[in-house]
A and B are shown apart, each in its own frame.
Chain A
């Protein structure tokens, strides 16, 4: 499961 916990911008 890839947990979203980092950044959402490139």
Chain B
């Protein structure tokens, strides 16, 4: 564990807590894409299949349970909770996210480190996570302005993988044979997809107005 990875995990944890806070306290999911949340639930479900077979550390297992629990409960809230469900703008959140799942699965079957069930699904989760934010970014453009909590959620979610990139650079120089091209490229693509969001998000800080 290094400071970059810890900062990345804490940033990721903060992003799900901000979203849960928004949905649970103000009972609203306005501006939040259910499709992105569903993709993230699939990402965690396919990435953490090893939670019962391989034990890394208490921290690792605890964080996996937190990410699994929070992503599925957010989907539950947005789909079935009577008050929250009403604030979900279904008409705007129309990105065909299932069209993202199949190509990622095919790509994972073609490009992976080992051809085993767990490894292919793990690789699938990497590819899917890289594009999982797309429905949310499209929704953001459609709804124009967004509230602070949603903006902070996206900012933290985008930032965590960027911190992971620093972690991979650090591990590459400190651990022999630490080379995982698939993880690195997927993580880079994921972070680059946030580039324009970061641009407008920082403009907000400079201009002191809502995220346009």
Judging by beta carbons under 8 Å apart, are B55 and A10 in contact? no
Name which residue of chain A comes closest to B171, CB basis.
Answer: A9
Chain B residues closer than 8 Å to A7, beta-carbon distance? 50, 56, 122
Judging by beta carbons under 8 Å apart, are A2 and B55 in contact? yes
B35, CB-defined interface residue at 8 Å: no
Partner of A8 from the list B12, B60, B67, B164 (CB cut-off 8 Å) is B60
> Range of interface residues on chain B?
10 to 19
B86, CB-defined interface residue at 8 Å: no
Judging by beta carbons under 8 Å apart, are B9 and A10 in contact? yes
**A8 vs chain B, min Cβ distance (A):** 5
Q: Is the interface of B mostly helix, strand, loop or mixed?
A: helix
Judging by beta carbons under 8 Å apart, are B9 and A4 in contact? no
Judging by beta carbons under 8 Å apart, are A10 and B53 in contact? no
Judging by beta carbons under 8 Å apart, are B5 and A2 in contact? no
The 5 A-B residue pairs with the shortest CB-CB distance in the complex, in nearest-first order: A2-B55, A6-B50, A6-B54, A8-B56, A4-B54
Q: Give B contacts to A, CB under 8 Å.
A: 5, 9, 12, 50, 53-57, 60, 63-64, 67, 118, 122, 164, 167, 183
Q: Give A contacts to B, CB under 8 Å.
A: 2-10
Q: What are 17 A-B pairs with beta-carbon distances under 8 A? A: A2-B54, A3-B53, A4-B54, A4-B55, A5-B53, A6-B118, A8-B56, A8-B60, A9-B5, A9-B164, A9-B167, A9-B183, A10-B9, A10-B60, A10-B63, A10-B64, A10-B67
